[in-house]
Amino acid sequence: MKRITALAVALMAIAVVAAPVAALAAETDPQQTDPNAKADFHGKIKVGRTKATLKVTYNCNAGQVLWISAKEVSSGKAARGLTKESSSKISSAWWQSHRNPITCDSQPHTATFSMDKKEKGSKGALKPGQAWVQFCVTNGDALVLSAHDFVTVTD
């Protein structure tokens, strides 16, 4: 009996420690053309001198271009204004990329995606705090996948 209790306590402790590492299931857009497409953000945005990275597990049935974006206000707090259209106007930092390769074959894929300031409109420096992340896959003019949420930024 003591072994079973000890085992149960050990398993609960492992579950509590592992819980913060779980993926953050990003919200998806009801306008996306693939109702089964989704993206889960894993961990934090890691910021380097010239690029930032985020690990994502995604699933889509078709797609040619991925756009990933992270916007942050100067306070580093999760500002609801960043969730609105044209939020780059209120952001102090906006890093993005249309250059990451993707695979859309209805299977889940996990990859680490990069963002930087090379594209037009990008600005500022991401700093520790909360950034609004958008992860969008298009196939021609069709929005296949649109996922978004606040993600912690670390350096």
pLDDT of residue 91: 96
pLDDT of residue 25: 66
Nearest to 56 by CA among 18, 24, 93: 24
How far apart CA 94 and CA 134 sit, in angstroms, is 11
pLDDT of residue 11: 35
pLDDT of residue 14: 36
Mean per-residue pLDDT pooled into runs of 10, the chain (155 residues):
39 38 66 93 97 98 97 97 91 98 97 98 97 97 96 96
How far apart CA 85 and CA 69 sit, in angstroms, is 13
| Domain residue ranges of the chain, discontinuous segments joined by + | 21-154
CATH fold of the domain at 21-154: Immunoglobulin-like (2.60.40)
